[in-house]
A and B are shown apart, each in its own frame.
Chain A
């Protein structure tokens, strides 16, 4: 009986395939409808971490402060050379604090699915909410971090200026970029667990090449080709724009805004599509 083939039968009664990834438009609509899940998850994660540590929320700020202290000691005092710009401490603080957002997003993003396998297996919801929740969580953490950064900058002699407000659109662009990166690494580590081990190395490379404790322009002054490449790296661009907004004497080429925006939109769109294309794969071991 040919008409009894399962697919024909399913079609006749209007049954749909289970476990197939939904069409892209429907997927986006589902995700948008449940956006509160990502927001609430991000908020609860921060709360529960704070409850368990004695210093609580203070750790969010203390960790990048300690990092800045270490790099300040190593690169400011021990390895003293002429690659350092004016007001090195303020320059370093902005670099370390802004990089923190990227480093945490890529690190936690790589674990967004694989450390939530049990949750993924027990409830069906658009999985993309998990890497989004990771980046939202990091964004919420950036609020006190940036507050402390502002206080430190004033302490180290930077004037408070209206341009500080530009940090809001910069962080917004960076959030889209980070979310795209988190989606990409979240899917990649599902296919290949080893990715999780490589992420800290990638993060480290980004840290050392993004000119956080040295001025790229001073070091690469003789190599315009390399300088151009570094100027086009996204993390460098977000850090440079932040320095431009927060530091009194840090001019940047206005085209950086355009490049940063393109990176943000491009990475985010690619990340969403890349993540969605394996939707039915998540939860399988």
Chain B
């Protein structure tokens, strides 16, 4: 495994690693008629059978430690979200291994529930899938709906929601539980200003409670403010891993070329 000097220093000082990602590759197979999966058209190659293979992550390795918050930056379709889903165990690695202290929880705007059901039913189902009991859900239900700010719309099917509304509801459901490894995919940019403030507050609370936080964001200022280390993912490769200021500057310099 390639261990950066910084990571080696942490190991030598006896800091406890919470996530170890070892040479992870992710390949998707999608069918030409189906919807293309995340990872982007630019990475797609067509095979003769009408099955496209997308090589979304090409050997990513890093180690995260207790108390760290790690930012992940990169262009659209570079593999950031795939990396987070792989660390969460939701997208299996084609090769390579992810080790973690506990089952990581992913908070994402792309997290989908069941569109044909009402918001109210999605709240209950999401809670049950997260492992809450029915009694716990009855207790939490009100605060989830209030957090999402959807009291008037909660009886309508989720397919009638605007993208902002459904993102708020999904965030509120996922954030109803405290997690020890927390992966946040663009969730900070969800919704309007008022909701963003509320969700930033909630994420800070969870950051304190959680051992390790990973954060994907397109907002460099958010990354610089919240993170102690930054990974730059470029076309499925880990291009840089280190000090937030250094990595962000290199990334911005590259983006402006």
Using a CB–CB distance below 8 Å, which chain A residues touch chain B?
Answer: 4-7, 9-10, 13-20, 33-34, 36-37, 40-41, 44, 47-48, 52, 118-125, 193, 280-281, 283-285
Taking the closest CB of chain A, its distance from the CB of B37, in whole angstroms, is 5
Q: What is the bound-complex CA distance between A14 and B102, given in angstroms? A: 10
Q: What is the bound-complex CA distance between A20 and B86, given in angstroms? A: 11
Determine if B20 and A34 form an interchain contact, defined as CB atoms under 8 angstroms apart: no
Determine if B99 and A16 form an interchain contact, defined as CB atoms under 8 angstroms apart: yes
Q: What is the bound-complex CA distance between A41 and B113, given in angstroms? A: 11
Which single residue of chain A is at the shortest CB-CB distance from B110? A122
Determine if B90 and A6 form an interchain contact, defined as CB atoms under 8 angstroms apart: no
Q: What is the bound-complex CA distance between A19 and B86, given in angstroms? A: 8
For residue B22, which residues in chain A have a CB less than 8 angstroms away from its CB? 6-7
Determine if A13 and B16 form an interchain contact, defined as CB atoms under 8 angstroms apart: yes
Determine if B125 and A285 form an interchain contact, defined as CB atoms under 8 angstroms apart: no
Determine if A283 and B97 form an interchain contact, defined as CB atoms under 8 angstroms apart: no
Determine if A6 and B126 form an interchain contact, defined as CB atoms under 8 angstroms apart: no
Supply 30 A–B pairs (Cβ within 8 Å), ascending by A: A4-B11, A6-B20, A7-B97, A9-B17, A9-B20, A9-B63, A10-B17, A15-B18, A15-B100, A15-B101, A18-B104, A19-B89, A19-B93, A34-B128, A34-B129, A44-B114, A44-B125, A48-B116, A48-B118, A48-B121, A48-B157, A122-B112, A122-B170, A123-B111, A123-B126, A283-B91, A283-B92, A285-B29, A285-B30, A285-B34
Which single residue of chain B is at the shortest CB-CB distance from A43? B121
Which residues of B from 122 to 148 have beta carbons under 8 Å from A?
124-126, 128-131, 133-134
Q: B28 within 8 Å of A by Cβ?
A: yes
> Number of B residues whose C-beta is below 8 Å from A?
56
Q: What is the bound-complex CA distance between A243 and B89, given in angstroms? A: 48
Most chain B CB neighbours (cut-off 10 Å) among A13, A19, A37, A280: A19
Set A19, A33, A47, A284: member contacting B98, Cβ < 8 A: A19
Determine if B128 and A285 form an interchain contact, defined as CB atoms under 8 angstroms apart: no
Q: B119 within 8 Å of A by Cβ?
A: no
Ranked 9 nearest A-B pairs via Cβ: A19-B89, A122-B111, A118-B112, A10-B99, A15-B99, A6-B22, A37-B128, A18-B89, A18-B98
Q: What is the bound-complex CA distance between A193 and B49, given in angstroms? A: 14
Q: What is the bound-complex CA distance between A199 and B104, given in angstroms? A: 37
Determine if A44 and B100 form an interchain contact, defined as CB atoms under 8 angstroms apart: no
Q: What is the bound-complex CA distance between A124 and B92, given in angstroms? A: 12
Q: What is the bound-complex CA distance between A121 and B99, given in angstroms? A: 19
Q: B236 within 8 Å of A by Cβ?
A: no
Determine if A37 and B129 form an interchain contact, defined as CB atoms under 8 angstroms apart: yes
Taking the closest CB of chain A, its distance from the CB of B178, in whole angstroms, is 16
For residue A280, which residues in chain B have a CB less than 8 angstroms away from its CB? 89, 92
Taking the closest CB of chain B, its distance from the CB of A46, in whole angstroms, is 11
Q: What is the bound-complex CA distance between A122 and B112, given in angstroms? A: 6
For residue B102, which residues in chain A have a CB less than 8 angstroms away from its CB? 16
For residue B126, which residues in chain A have a CB less than 8 angstroms away from its CB? 123
Which residues of B from 1 to 49 have beta carbons under 8 Å from A?
1, 3, 11, 16-20, 22, 28-31, 34, 37
Determine if A6 and B117 form an interchain contact, defined as CB atoms under 8 angstroms apart: no
Determine if A41 and B125 form an interchain contact, defined as CB atoms under 8 angstroms apart: yes
Q: B163 within 8 Å of A by Cβ?
A: no
For residue B100, which residues in chain A have a CB less than 8 angstroms away from its CB? 15-16, 18
Given contacts A6-B99, A9-B20, contact A121 B129 (CB under 8 A): no
Which single residue of chain B is at the shortest CB-CB distance from A39? B128
Q: B87 within 8 Å of A by Cβ?
A: yes
Q: What is the bound-complex CA distance between A37 and B1, given in angstroms? A: 40
Q: What is the bound-complex CA distance between A20 and B100, given in angstroms? A: 11
Determine if B128 and A40 form an interchain contact, defined as CB atoms under 8 angstroms apart: yes
Q: What is the bound-complex CA distance between A34 and B131, given in angstroms? A: 6
Determine if A119 and B113 form an interchain contact, defined as CB atoms under 8 angstroms apart: yes
Which single residue of chain B is at the shortest CB-CB distance from A3? B11
Q: B235 within 8 Å of A by Cβ?
A: no
Taking the closest CB of chain B, its distance from the CB of A4, in whole angstroms, is 7
Determine if A284 and B92 form an interchain contact, defined as CB atoms under 8 angstroms apart: yes
For residue A284, which residues in chain B have a CB less than 8 angstroms away from its CB? 28, 91-92
Q: What is the bound-complex CA distance between A281 and B93, given in angstroms? A: 10
Q: What is the bound-complex CA distance between A24 and B85, given in angstroms? A: 24
Q: What is the bound-complex CA distance between A29 and B209, given in angstroms? A: 27
For residue A14, which residues in chain B have a CB less than 8 angstroms away from its CB? 101
Q: B165 within 8 Å of A by Cβ?
A: no
Q: B172 within 8 Å of A by Cβ?
A: no
